[in-house]
Structure 1
Amino acid sequence: MRRFGAILLDGLLALTAAYIALISAGHADLPALQTFYTVAGAGFGISFLNHVLLTRIGGASLGKFAVRTRVIRETDASRPRLPRLFRRWLGGYLFLVVWIIAACFDMEDDPEDFCGVRLVRYKDLRALVPAYGR
């Protein structure tokens, strides 16, 4: 349930940024194509900052911070580096499409992470850190 709470909060953040960009573009009387680029840039830009850069710096996106989970590397429980987080961010959009299709056809929709990254509860991570000596 924590995963869905984090997804909801992170999604709302990106949609809010896109909505603000849409309102701003409307007030600036931008052409339709420029409005599209502005809205997409704001939504994807905030999503990128939240899921890639903030996760690299703080170990979690804003939604994950709110539900007290963290993102770790599967192999050694360390913080993932930027290339892995970028692949995970891009793959998340592809997974969302696959998940919707799987839900429509009652197929298996297991959210296993293909980048070697796991989502863990913060309290479990605190218990794990002494075992790895960090």
Structure 2
Amino acid sequence: MIDPRGNQYAHHPPPQGPYGPYVPYRPYVPGRAGEARRYAAVFVDLVLAVTLGLLVANALGKDAGPDGTPMGGRATGAAVGTLIGFSFINQTLLTWACGASLGKLLARIRVVRATDGTRPGPFRLAWRWLAGLCWLPLQPYYWLRSWILLFTGGSAKGTVGDNEDGELYEDICGVRQVRRKDLRPYGEHGGHGGHGGYAPSR
């Protein structure tokens, strides 16, 4: 038997609902935003973080320490700490609250879970931020895992540990960057509490 969407049922007909055959829920997940748009968002976020760090370093560098020497070491440490702190707030907390970092908001990008198109939760976003921060040192791990998946026939499933080859903007940690206009409104197409669109993460 074939359902209204063309699915073949091998043994039993689909269960009947009040409006006809029950159609299994399929989450809507938009395709990735274009590379130019994604890199523009990264550039804006990087410029903001570096600028804020330099401003902090410049402010501290003008003062002198107790012995009269410039506070160069403290200024450098404060600049690095400011850069990392701003990056975490921007990429994790702001993205959790608004669905995107400052750069992504300007580029009209939103982040969604690659499995169901819902908004990622704070744990996934924090993991994604750490993966980006440690992306270069983790390359040997990504290389090894890609070969293991190749020989075992495994594939990415949108989990936190996903991303076969470690490409930074290819759904790493199961988080996908999509165009804002490709998102469906929350609750559109109904099923399962309205998770067909850009619903909050469960």
TM-score (norm 2): 0.56
Matched, 1:118 2:176: yes
SS in 2 for 1:130: coil
Coordinate RMSD, CA, aligned: 2.4
SS in 1 for 2:184: helix
Could you report, residue by residue, the CA deviation over 1:10-59 in whole angstroms, capped at 9, with x for unpaired residues? 00010011110111111223533322221111111111111000000000
- Decide which structure has greater helix share: 1
Matched, 1:6 2:41: yes
Relative to structure 1, the CA distance from residue 97 to residue 13 in structure 2 (aligned partners, 3 Å threshold; closer, same or farther) is farther
Letter in structure 1 aligned against 2:94: L
Range moving further from structure 2, 66-75 or 24-33: 24-33
Q: Alpha-carbon deviation of 1:78?
A: 1.4
Provide the residue aligned with 1:102 in structure 2. Answer: none
Relative to structure 1, the CA distance from residue 126 to residue 96 in structure 2 (aligned partners, 3 Å threshold; closer, same or farther) is farther
Matched, 1:16 2:51: yes
Q: Alpha-carbon deviation of 1:94?
A: 2.5
Matched, 1:94 2:129: no
Query: Which consecutive unaligned segments of at least 5 residues does structure 1 have?
Result: 100-107
Could you report, residue by residue, the CA deviation over 1:46-100 in whole angstroms, capped at 9, with x for unpaired residues? 111110000000000000000101011112211111111111111112235679x
Identity of aligned residues (%): 40
By relative contact order (CA 8 Å, sep 6+), the higher-ranking structure is: 1
The one of 47, 69, 74 equivalent to 2:87 is: 47
Which of the two has higher C-alpha Rg? 2
SS in 1 for 2:183: helix
Once residues 129 and 18 of structure 1 are traced to their aligned partners in structure 2, the CA distance between those partners, rounded to angstroms, is 41
Matched, 1:82 2:122: yes
SS in 1 for 2:178: strand
Q: Alpha-carbon deviation of 1:129?
A: 5.9
Matched, 1:70 2:98: no
Provide the residue aligned with 1:29 in structure 2. Answer: 64
Letter in structure 1 aligned against 2:78: T
Range moving further from structure 2, 72-81 or 22-31: 22-31
Once residues 29 and 129 of structure 1 are traced to their aligned partners in structure 2, the CA distance between those partners, rounded to angstroms, is 58
Provide the residue aligned with 2:27 in structure 1. Answer: none
